Structure 1
Amino acid sequence: MMGLSLEDAVVVEGALASPLVGQLADKLLKDGWDVSSLRRVFQGTAFFGGAVCMLLNAFLGPSLGTVGQVALLVAATTLKSADRAGLFCTHADLSPRYAGALLALSSTAGAIAPIPVIEFIGKLIDETGSFGWGLFVPIAIAQIIGGLVYVTTADCERQEFDNL
């Protein structure tokens, strides 16, 4: 990763990790895994794995140095690639016919929801003087809450509205 920016590293990891995630998920489905269980495991990996990386960065970041901190961020985004076999497939499981509309609605909600949080995060960073407490911990908390909600409630059974 020498000479790569963080943004470049994230693009590279996504290009490498996403196909591997898909191949692993396909293998597990062929091996008899239940679709809902598979989605929960992969999305749990995406959320909880990222949260662990954020917490490590929050508590150990400065002692790890720049390379260690960037490595944790790249690891977090690599683990996030598991969402390709988690949340992002759930829409098609629920309704192949309306998967695009469901993905558009959930993506829009996911993009709008954090807008008011940006000011809060800025204030936390200003008050704490720390990206660890002001940025990484809140991200980890959001990932843990999102992970708990998804893994305890996700159900990939096709919905009746798909036949409308």
Structure 2
Amino acid sequence: MFWVTCSEELNLNLREAAWVSILPPLASVFVTSIAAQFSDNLIANGVETTTVRKICQAISFLSPATCMILSSLDLGLQPWEIVGILSCGLALSSFALSGLYCTHQDISPEYASILLGITNTVGAVPGIVGVALTGFLLDSTHSWSMSLFAPSIFFYLTGTIVWLAFASSKPQSFSESD
């Protein structure tokens, strides 16, 4: 999807868009090591695990939302500047590895794999529905900003609010042996 946006919205040819599409995953590798050190240092300095997970997940959700907002505004940015902004936002979403994805292990080391399977399955549903929604919105608005970025920003912001309100890394009783 990133390369489609680059090729159509930023007027890059497919070869340029293909090369540009590798930037977010490469940046994510770098950001992941920063996120891991960041969260480990906070926990080592006595910050509660739930607080650390909330901070990391908030970074993971709010960074791409902010970058999508910036790239959607008419700020007179050049295509490569927009690509850089979007790549940074997508790379910072790697903080989820120190947020949501560690929470399963925090809640229940014994059942972490099952919990991850459940959350990934539930999380896949919006991805499936989102493809149809994006296509419908693109046909209706003829705007990538409105069809792709607006719903994504909405769900990032909603996810942040829900995560901050309800997330917990406290061990759960179902993980205790009988």
Query: Does the TM-score normalized on the shorter chain lie above 0.5?
Result: yes
Q: Does 1:97 align with 2:110?
A: yes
Q: Distance in 2 between matches of 1:105 and 1:113?
A: 14
Contact 2:24 2:88 in 1 (8 A): no
Q: Does 1:32 align with 2:46?
A: yes
Q: CA deviation at 1:3?
A: 9.6
Residue from 147, 153, 159 that aligns with 1:140: 153
Q: Distance in 2 between matches of 1:117 and 1:85?
A: 25
Matches within 5 A, 1:8-157: 8-60=22-74, 63-157=76-170
**What residue identity is the alignment partner of 1:41?**
I
Q: Distance in 2 between matches of 1:37 and 1:157?
A: 11
Q: Distance in 2 between matches of 1:6 and 1:159?
A: 43
Q: CA deviation at 1:51?
A: 0.7
Gaps of 5+ in 2: 1-15
Q: What is the root-mean-square deviation in Å for CA atoms of aligned residues?
A: 1.8
**Which deviations, in whole Å up to 9, do the C-alpha atoms of 1:69-106 show, x marking residues without a partner?**
21122111121011111001000011000101111111
Contact 2:68 2:149 in 1 (8 A): yes
Q: Measured at CA, do residues 129 and 4 of structure 1 come closer, stay the same or move farther in structure 2, by a change above 3 Å? A: closer
Q: CA deviation at 1:42?
A: 0.7
Gaps of 5+ in 1: none
SS at match of 1:33: coil
Q: CA deviation at 1:135?
A: 0.8
**What residue identity is the alignment partner of 2:65?**
A
Of structures 1 and 2, the one with the larger relative CO (CA 8 A, separation 6+) is 1
Q: CA deviation at 1:30?
A: 0.9
TM-score, normalised to structure 1, is 0.91
Contact 2:54 2:163 in 1 (8 A): yes
Q: Distance in 1 between matches of 2:120 and 2:151?
A: 20
TM-score, normalised to structure 2, is 0.85
